[in-house]
Structure 1
Amino acid sequence: MLDAQLVLDAAFLPALLIAVLAGILSFLSPCVLPIVPPYLAFMGGVSVSDMQGGTSKARGKVVLAAVFFVLGLSTVFLLMGISASALGRALGPYQDWLTKAAAVIIMIFGAHFIGIFRIGFMDREARFNTGDTGGSALGAYVLGLAFAFGWTPCLGPILGAILSVAASGNDIGRGVGLLAAYAIGLGIPFLLVAAFFPSLQGVMRWMKRHMGRIEKISGLLLWTVGLMMLTGQFTDFSYWLLDTFPGLAAIG
């Protein structure tokens, strides 16, 4: 029989990939995607027209601001990962129950996105007033912190799912890894838009037109992950990964 630690290691890889995808889906959510261009322009101290023009000076300012913005939101998400993992470690004796509870929560979040029912407070976001902090790296970092905190209710279904997975384990390092992967998935699109905004405007308009479909895909992903956790299929998938890719046994 395969060592339980190897199964856990293999299970961590698909969890990381899911966390990255969850971050991307969060970027595409209705409360994030529409505000990306004006947010980036404000943080860079330029106008949206300057971004559309694609001048090297405007692009440099916006990319620098985007980097510090992503660092700010990543700081908050990493702290969340530490907290969720610490909670999971404290509740170690109840790990099986915690995993099942996390699975049910994830499935509820998935149903919210699919549209089976709506969770009211998750359709709202609290926006913090950080003052006139545009045009500076420090200001962009502060806005990143505010974004991570202020948009948490809106990002709640997806972010909550990743936090639930982090809490269902008892390893702080892996919990931090999951939230880092989520931050990467959410942050890289910000950087891409900052660097290539003129070329991506058509893609962003297409995404806005298909926002409902994107939400349903997000919900289906969450519901499937929750079901796999609840039925133990995540572990079965881990065995399959180890049998198919033996090199994964070296991870961890």
Structure 2
Amino acid sequence: MTLLIIAYLGGALTILSPCILPILPFVFARSGQPFVRSTLPMLAGMAATFAAVATLAAVGGSWAIHANEYGRLAAIVLLAVFGVSLISPRIASAISQPVVDLGNRMLNTAGKPGAAPTAASSLILGIATGLLWAPCAGPILGLVLTGAALQGANLETTFLLAAYAAGAATSLAIALAVGGKIFAGMKRSLGVSERIRQALGVAVLAGVATIAFDLDTGLLARLSYASTTSFEQAVLDRLQVKQNAAQSTEVASNGAMAISDATGSFHANLPIEGPAPSLNGAVEWLNSPPLDLKQLRGKVVLVDFWTYSCINCIRTTPFVRAWAEKYKDQGLMVIGVHAPEFAFEQKIDNVKKAVSDFKIGYPVAIDNDYKIWRAFDNSYWPAHYLIDADGQIRYHHFGEGNYRQTEQAIQDLLREAGANASASAPVTPDAKGAEAGPDLKNIRSDETYLGYTRATNFASRENVNADAPREYSVGQPDLNEWGLSGTWTVGAEQVTLDKPNGGIAYRFSARDLHLVLGPGTAGKPVRFQVKIDGKAPGDSHGADTDSDGNGTVTSTRLYQLVRQSGDVEVRTFEIRFLDPGVEAYAFTFG
């Protein structure tokens, strides 16, 4: 229910976003008409169409996005005729009388004063508007679309997107109610209804042109970043504060406090969250034959959900390794569940290499079909679930941090199971490179995806041409903006370099910068060179570059490219690839 409310509020906040401007003329063209027969069907059609198209785009891949492009083209033509019919039915008639008649029926009153509006015509206009609406992807919509892509086609996905669209429709209805009264007053007092109708026609055509030239997803999306992102992030932060408060309460009870019964047996003061679900569904197991929780009764089990290119997972791995080693003889079994975020993480050979590179010796279940993920109703990377000796979940933690509390919970459950796991100093792994802990107080840049399904803050001069090569150029991006230079193909998950000497630029503020890269389908090494503010990185080079900024992409994984040695400042990062074929997926920071 909380996520539905958040999605609804995120949709309502779109009224503050410049990305809403192109469709406002379509909405205000209905001003002065009955709400139930005109405004309501139009907004309902817009919301339902957006939710349906967004769901298909999130779970259906590029075919759904290409199908929507044809729908957008038809809607552009339909609404352009609609705008012409508002300006002058005579001119429109000379162009195409049958189509203009449809436009007039959509307007109901265009050239026919006093005509009664129909719900069907309003619904058609709403569907056309829904096909064209491209809301700016702020934090809330990004959260919803990411969850949709991960969880697949289900009712929750549709409900969340419908809630977002309903929020937008509500704010538009309120705006129309206020604006409609103003227009009606102008018509009565000034007698300029014909001029107002023509002005709305011009505005509709301007909106159509804006959408046709992709300005709604380019320039307006950049303007939107400053206007609505802070509002949306504030809503999410409030939710996160509540989550953290609840988590802290639970963690506080996980400290030294514990109780003993009359027999002196130790019982950890950890709540029973429910029986642990099955581990069935993995496509393969590494470091172990398939395991089942029933055969692990009597042991304390730590289930660690991770994926190998996730920076948060990478930074958590040293602690999980250390716990597995420290408590293995006292009854702790650590099981990693690798649930992929990107398609390349579904390749078992890639996971095997990552397990070897990260020196993971405990069992790992490869959960490519998300069966274990969904059985635990999980939503996070990383996520830790502690299961007691009786098969009950007693503790969970999402994300990085709280390592001391998690280790205390491990010790308490081991003691409860009868092991001699008295309190001891927490592990302090010697983590290096990307595994080293983040500098949280200086991070002002967020994870940024490059594929078109989740990309934000794209700053190249050219608009994205999905799934086809295009020459891109980039000037000086603003903070947290990025752009491409050279010939690239922008795919759903990644961008692929088609010709040598292409580059990516990002204006960031953090100590560490990472980029998930791969050598592409050819598998050949790709040489690259990194610059910071136009110069070699020197002492600020990352673990995967030298001081001159040179490096090579040899496998698909996360590469640490920058680790600032001095004061953390806003920097411009540039990476130029000397060879074609490289694939880039996402920036992360630490």
Q: Please state which structure has a larger fraction of its residues in strand.
A: 2
- TM-score if structure 1 supplies the norm length? 0.50
- Specify which structure has the bigger relative contact order, considering alpha-carbon pairs within 8 angstroms and separated by 6 or more residues: 1
Q: Please state which structure has a larger fraction of its residues in helix.
A: 1
Bigger CA radius of gyration: 2
- TM-score if structure 2 supplies the norm length? 0.25
